[in-house]
Structure 1
Amino acid sequence: MFNSVSRRLWVSKLVRVPCHEQSARSFYHGIQENMRREYSQALFARKPVPYTRNQVRSLAFSQRMRLGLRKASKGIWRNNPILFPLAIISVVGATALLIYVTYVQVTYVNPQYNKFPPEVAKALRIAVYYTELDLNPSRALVAYQEALRIAMDQGIHPYSDEVLGIKLQVALMLEKAGLVKAAIEVLERTKKDALIWINEGRGMKEVTAKGRADNSNTTKIHDSVLEAQRQRKEQEDYEERQRDKTLKKVIGMEVKLAELYSSDHIQDEKRAEESQVAAVELCLKEMKRRQRLGLPVGQGSGGDDGSWLNLIEIASAFTDLADMYTQQQKPELALPLYMQALAMVKEDEGNSTSCKQVVLLNNVAQAMVEQANRPVHPSKGNPSTQLSLSNDQIIDDAKQWARKAVDVAADIHPPVRDESCDVSCVVATVNLGYLSEMQNRLKEADDLFLKAKRLAQDIGYQEGIAQAEKAQRRLEKSRESHK
């Protein structure tokens, strides 16, 4: 009975199963069968892939460097925001400094030593090191002496530019070290020896020229004699150029000696004046000799080659002596020197005009102003004062020179015009005010002082402003005293 019941229950369960579930199973089963069949067909239909060996390609050096730099640069700015820019700036600065040092060495330092033999240049480099970089007078002096000894042994001319340049450098080194007396001794000894050589050489040249004039009637001369004469003539021309150059350096030594004698270390105004006068006398003597021989006064024997002073340089020597006389309150001695210097500058510049003329015109006017303040009487010992002028005439002449300075400066424009023109205009205007004040033209003097003050303010010339204000205060006191 139980068996029959169980069979009925099983049959009832089978009967209650929906028909769509059976159809779904058969559907999915069919799909799986189709997929399995297609996969097996594709698997057996696929061609085998041939085996290939892995190829490793080596990188080039540039590629490895690029990869290394790329790895190293990752995060370097982020990790070192301060040190890395400073490192770059340091590298760039060091490179620029190296380039600059190389440029100076090639363009400035080496040309100074190329004219010397290698042995002399080596000694000079040591001397310059102990002069410019590590000041040591004793070691520098030994090196300079060694350079001079080697130069003499190698036959360099004792009065060539190179040898005289070494001697002048010794004096400069001693001055730089504070040994002014020793520097003066070097310059004095060098100047004395150079003048002896110049005078002896020119004396021998005159004797030789006279002998040639006496033997000018020779009819036939052998070729070897002509060649010897030609070589001797070339040597004489070289010696003459060297004498011109040496004399030019001697005049510079005299000017330098005047500066050293008047410095705070020595304070010997008498010796300073003697040296400055000697420089001017050498210029005058050489100018007369050149005029007598028909040589250009403002050029060297070989033309405009710089072997002798030009007119501007000669005028500068005259002006330096005139300035010294002005400081010593000797306007009667300074005035003719200023005028001679002005004439030389005009001759050199020709139709063109520079501020040098303005400065000299103003100096002439200022010397006349001082001479008007302290009239100079004629004396037997001073030929320049034999012709005495009245005070009013001196004042009128001084006014003309001062106005001339202002007028000439007005015609000079940049870039030729410089600060010296502006300063000279201020000083000339102040001098015109002084002269008007001396003539008791107080209103005119006040206007000129006011004009000078405005000119000085425009160019920032503090000394001119102070002079104009001082003159205005003096005029104000003078007016109050006359009331």
Structure 2
Amino acid sequence: MPPLPLSLAAHRLMASLRPLHLGRPFRPSSLSYTLATRFPLVKRNSSSIPPRPSSTPPLPPPPPPLPPQKMTKTQFLRKLFIVSLQNLALSLTPRGFRAAFRDSPVGMTFTSIVLGFAAIVCTFAIYEYRRVFYRADLNIYPKEVADLLRRAIHHTIINPKPELALRYYNEAMVKCSELGFDSSSDQMLYIRVQVASWLEHNINNYRKAAEVLELIKADCVKFVSVINRAIQEGKVDDEGMYRPDVAEGEAGGTPKVTPPESETIWRKRQRLLSLAVGVSAKLGELYADEHVLDFDNSQASLIWAVETSLAELQRRQKEGGRRPGEEEWLEPEKLGVLMESLGRSYEEKGQYELCIPLFLYALRLCMDPCQRAVIMNNMAVAFAQQSQVPTGVQAATVVEAAAAMPTTREGNLEAAHNWATNAQKHGGEVKGEARTVVCDRACAAALCTLGDVAVMMGKPELARARFREGREMSLKLDFDQGVRQAEEGLARLKSKSSEA
């Protein structure tokens, strides 16, 4: 009869009946300890007894390590760049900053300062780059023309090469013509004005710059005269556009490139006339420069600018309103600047009876308090230098002001003293952000003018005091012209006292 299978309970019972020494080590007896020490057993793995053969074969030795793969220069640089970026990103974390500051506080502080300074320099460089090469006046051109102008500016400012700059300016004008821009458009005229500015400031060829500006002025005047003739002949409708029966390009060459917003004939006339007036004023300044000293052409240019501006104002007042597309004519301040420039031109040529009315007109239009003090001082100088019996020639713009002018030498000196005192007073009253270095220099110049007037009045002590005050103030302001004028006045007083 076969044995019956044991149940789980039987297995547990039999396991509990096993000797306890089979499951854990036991302490040997003294007899077994003595036998073991006298007759030691031989190790199974000794050389006398061969080892039992293993059932599993031994593992093969590991293969030798592969040699490192050689990297190309490009791969090395790429890996170096990636690792550098990773290290930089790790160091820019708050944890990286704290660890670096703990390791080297002084070095980390110095590094932070250098990085901050480098960030400021880079930001300023990017701003200047955008300001110079991507300014708003280049946005009126297509990309190919704007790129040529940027190259010209690069060879003007960054890497000065006059030949390349002039070549790129010429290529830009040729490209504008190929794209269909008219010679009276802002795009073409701006390039020509830019060339004149380049000749003046970068090449220092003032006469050549004046020639370019004269050509621009002549072209603008020609375009305006053609438009005026078309208006008189009735070729312009009430909306300020050419009538359909007028041939294209008949009235001064209408632009072949249509602007986004259609420009009326009146708007085009005002744009060209404003540019002609501005160029003429610039010519007056350029001819009076110390490198040219052509006062006749300077005065003629300023007279044309003032007369043209006043004639346009009278036309608008007579017609009683603006025409389609017309905007406000010259701002009062700009007209005042023209008057002041023409007045200084008359003053330099000794025609004081003509410059005084212009200074009065400019003073009435000027809104800058510091510039008003300058004009008042110019008035004082003009009255002080005016001859005792003025000529009958007066400025046609302000005849009513000429009637109130003094007619004697004493009256002129009294007027000069009053205007110089007003210049010093008004220049000193300007406070806050409105006060600039112009106010301070106007006050210093007024003190010197008061000294000159006191000399003419026969008051040497008062003149000496004013000259000293003007010299001290000019020295504080680094105003060389004021220092020179005060020292010349003191030298004249010293020579007169020694002669007496």
TM-score normalised to structure 1 length: 0.66
Check 1:103–1:461 CA distance in 2 against 1; reply closer, same or farther (3 A cut). closer
Residue 184 of structure 1 and its aligned partner are, at CA, apart by 3.0
Please name the residue that 1:227 is paired with.
none
Distance across 1 between alignment mates of 2:390 and 2:425: 32
Distance across 1 between alignment mates of 2:472 and 2:110: 51
Greater fraction helix? 1
Query: Which residue among 401, 420, 440 is the counterpart of 2:419?
Result: 401
Please name the residue that 1:287 is paired with.
313
Gaps of 5+ in 1: 1-39, 46-60, 71-75, 214-231
Contact 1:423 1:456 in 2 (8 A): yes
The answer to whether structure 1 residue 149 and structure 2 residue 174 are counterparts is yes
Please name the residue that 1:191 is paired with.
217
Which stretch of the first structure deviates more once superposed, 111-120 or 91-100?
91-100
User: What RMSD, in angstroms, separates the aligned Cα atoms of the two structures?
Assistant: 4.5
SS in structure 1 opposite 2:362? helix
Distance across 1 between alignment mates of 2:204 and 2:463: 48
What aligned pairs does 1:1-400 form with structure 2 within 5 A after superposition? Answer: 44=25, 97-106=121-130, 109-112=133-136, 113-175=138-200, 176-208=202-234, 238-263=264-289, 266-295=292-321, 301-303=326-328, 308-345=329-366, 349=367, 354-371=369-386, 374-378=387-391, 389-400=407-418
Residue 367 of structure 1 and its aligned partner are, at CA, apart by 0.7
Check 1:97–1:406 CA distance in 2 against 1; reply closer, same or farther (3 A cut). closer
Residue 397 of structure 1 and its aligned partner are, at CA, apart by 1.7
Which stretch of the first structure deviates more once superposed, 269-278 or 456-465?
456-465
Check 1:181–1:41 CA distance in 2 against 1; reply closer, same or farther (3 A cut). farther
Check 1:245–1:211 CA distance in 2 against 1; reply closer, same or farther (3 A cut). closer
Check 1:165–1:432 CA distance in 2 against 1; reply closer, same or farther (3 A cut). same
Residue 117 of structure 1 and its aligned partner are, at CA, apart by 1.2
Please name the residue that 2:15 is paired with.
none
Task: Encode CA deviations 1:138-185: one digit per residue, 9 max, x unaligned.
Answer: 433332233223323334353333321111112223332344444333
**Percent identity (aligned):** 25
Write the letter of the residue equivalent to 2:463: A
Check 1:286–1:451 CA distance in 2 against 1; reply closer, same or farther (3 A cut). same
Please name the residue that 1:4 is paired with.
none
Please name the residue that 1:54 is paired with.
none
Query: Which residue among 447, 451, 473 is the counterpart of 1:433?
Result: 451
Residue 413 of structure 1 and its aligned partner are, at CA, apart by 1.3
Residue 250 of structure 1 and its aligned partner are, at CA, apart by 1.7
Contact 1:198 1:247 in 2 (8 A): yes
TM-score normalised to structure 2 length: 0.64
Task: Encode CA deviations 1:13-36: one digit per residue, 9 max, x unaligned.
Answer: xxxxxxxxxxxxxxxxxxxxxxxx
Check 1:328–1:122 CA distance in 2 against 1; reply closer, same or farther (3 A cut). same
Check 1:396–1:263 CA distance in 2 against 1; reply closer, same or farther (3 A cut). closer
SS in structure 2 opposite 1:250? helix
Distance across 1 between alignment mates of 2:425 and 2:394: 37
SS in structure 2 opposite 1:193? helix
Check 1:249–1:137 CA distance in 2 against 1; reply closer, same or farther (3 A cut). same
Task: Encode CA deviations 1:52-76: one digit per residue, 9 max, x unaligned.
Answer: xxxxxxxxx99xx77xx99xxxxx9
Contact 1:377 1:388 in 2 (8 A): no
Distance across 1 between alignment mates of 2:435 and 2:420: 18
Write the letter of the residue equivalent to 1:375: Q
Alignment: residue pair count: 389
SS in structure 2 opposite 1:363? helix
Residue 481 of structure 1 and its aligned partner are, at CA, apart by 4.8
Contact 2:206 2:291 in 1 (8 A): yes
